[in-house]
């Protein structure tokens, strides 16, 4: 049975990856840092020696590298740590994958593009507008340099089953429906997003790696996935209100530029052509996906402790 290592296995996407590869019959080892319940292994990716030793000892046939510092504000606050995590750890993983002859898939982001002329093809020139996008781009390059046969999968904003609403930039929007501020709530109707369900992304990762096993020479380099619905934050709030029968009367759309702070791309829609050529793509309709994920969260929240 093939052995898979999933980094960031306690995270939003990592949990779905861990589950999908298990269900597909792989022997999965999940790396995490602080949330190491449920059989995950504590491995600090900032400790290169520990990371190398763990990977060599496990000798997996497949590595899915999902761990990252992925909050743009967190990255700006500690750029050096973010570089060590998003770039240097990715390079170390690439080096060990090459040494072991393992398949390697690095998860990246639409934030490598500036969002001024979508849709973006996988080989369009990147131009990140913030440090998070920059470090993820450098992580892609470090991965492909260390392990030229590696795969990179760029994904848009993600949602899925959450432990806390603020785990996802999508699910956090439910707060303005559950806890309406007295002064109402203005939500951006400007930046376009293409939310993807983590279960769809995990399925795509599995199928992409399967295709690569069939033809390692042809299937390599950068691939991209995008949800197929265009939604602003305001659109997502309206969709959630409709799904859960909540009032959104106090929510108003705003097209004002975001307040000062870390910049985000306006519309970094990803072209999914390279995946389509392989016959890969799964999109759960947003209303259906968000209902599943947030119903589970709402039930847990209301359950007696």
Ligand X SMILES: NC(=O)c1ccc[n+]([C@@H]2O[C@H](COP(=O)([O-])OP(=O)(O)OC[C@H]3O[C@@H](n4cnc5c(N)ncnc54)[C@H](OP(=O)(O)O)[C@@H]3O)[C@@H](O)[C@H]2O)c1
Q: Which of 22, 33, 175, 283 binds ligand X (CB under 6 A)?
A: 33
Task: Pick the closest to residue 131 from 184, 179, 186, 76 (CA basis).
Answer: 76
* Cβ atoms 202, 93 nearer than 8 A: no
Query: How many whole angstroms separate alpha carbon 274 and alpha carbon 219?
Result: 10
CB 17 to ligand X: min, Å = 9
Strands (E), the chain: 3-7, 27-32, 41-42, 62-65, 103-109, 151-155, 158-159, 185-188, 196-197, 221-224, 251-254
Angle (nearest 5°) at CA 50 between 105 and 146: 40
Q: Considering the rule CB under 6 A, would residue 134 count as an interface residue with ligand X? A: no
**How many of the chain's residues bind ligand X (CB under 6 A)?**
29
Residue 142 lies near ligand X (rule: CB under 6 A)? no
Q: Which of 4, 10, 222, 226 binds ligand X (CB under 6 A)?
A: 10
Interacting residues of 302 by C-beta distance below 8 A, sequence separation 6+ = none
104 or 252: CB nearest ligand X:
104
Residues in Cβ contact with 15 at an 8 Å cutoff, skipping those fewer than 6 apart: 9, 160, 161, 198
Q: How far apart are CA 172 and CA 293, in angstroms?
A: 12
Confirm or reject binding of residue 233 to ligand X (CB under 6 A): no
Query: Among candidates 200, 154, 218, 180, which has minimal Cα distance to 293?
Result: 200
Residue 12 sits in the site that holds ligand X (CB under 6 A): yes
Judged by CB under 6 A, which of 4, 11, 97, 134 binds ligand X? Answer: 11
For residue 235, the minimal CB distance to ligand X (Å) is 16
Q: To the nearest whole angstrom, how small is the minimum distance from the Cβ of residue 34 to ligand X?
A: 4
Q: Is 96 in the site for ligand X (CB under 6 A)?
A: no
> Applying CB under 6 A, does 72 fall inside the site for ligand X?
no
Residue 35 within binding range of ligand X, rule CB under 6 A: yes
Contact predicate 143/91, CB 8 Å = yes
Query: Per CB under 6 A, does 32 bind ligand X?
Result: yes
Q: Which of 1, 34, 259, 299 binds ligand X (CB under 6 A)?
A: 34
Q: How far is the CB of 108 from ligand X (least distance, A)?
A: 7
Query: Does the footprint of ligand X cover residue 141 (CB under 6 A)?
Result: no
Chain residues in the site for ligand X (CB under 6 A)? 8-14, 31-35, 43-46, 66-68, 70, 85, 107, 109, 136, 155, 157-158, 167, 169
């Amino acid at each position: 049975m093939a052995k898979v290592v999933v980094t960031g296995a306690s995270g939003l996407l990592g949990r779905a990856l861990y589950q999908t590869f298990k269900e597909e019959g792989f022997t999965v080892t999940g790396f995490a840092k602080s949330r190491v319940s449920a059989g995950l292994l504590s491995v600090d990716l900032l400790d290169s020696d520990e990371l190398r030793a763990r990977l060599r000892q496990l000798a997996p046939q497949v590595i899915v590298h999902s761990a990252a510092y992925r909050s743009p504000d967190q990255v700006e606050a500690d750029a050096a740590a973010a570089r060590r995590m998003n770039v240097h750890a990715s390079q170390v993983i690439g080096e060990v994958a090459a040494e072991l002859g393992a398949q390697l898939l690095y998860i990246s982001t639409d934030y490598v593009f500036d969002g001024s002329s979508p849709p973006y093809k996988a080989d369009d020139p990147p131009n990140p507008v913030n440090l998070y996008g920059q470090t993820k781009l450098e992580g892609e390059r470090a991965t492909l340099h260390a392990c030229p046969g590696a795969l990179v999968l760029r994904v848009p904003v993600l949602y899925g089953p959450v432990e806390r609403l603020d785990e996802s930039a999508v699910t956090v929007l439910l707060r303005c429906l559950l806890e309406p501020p007295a002064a109402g709530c203005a939500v951006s109707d400007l930046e376009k997003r293409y939310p993807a369900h983590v279960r769809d992304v995990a399925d795509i990762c599995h199928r992409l790696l399967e295709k690569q096993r069939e033809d390692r020479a042809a299937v390599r380099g950068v691939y991209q996935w995008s949800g197929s619905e265009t939604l602003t934050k305001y659109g997502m709030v309206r969709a959630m209100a409709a799904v859960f029968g909540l009032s959104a009367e106090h929510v108003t759309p705003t097209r004002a530029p975001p307040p000062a702070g870390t910049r985000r791309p306006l519309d970094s829609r990803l072209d999914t052509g390279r995946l389509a050529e392989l016959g890969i793509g799964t999109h759960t309709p947003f209303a259906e996906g968000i209902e599943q994920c947030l119903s589970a969260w709402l039930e847990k929240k209301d359950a007696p402790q």
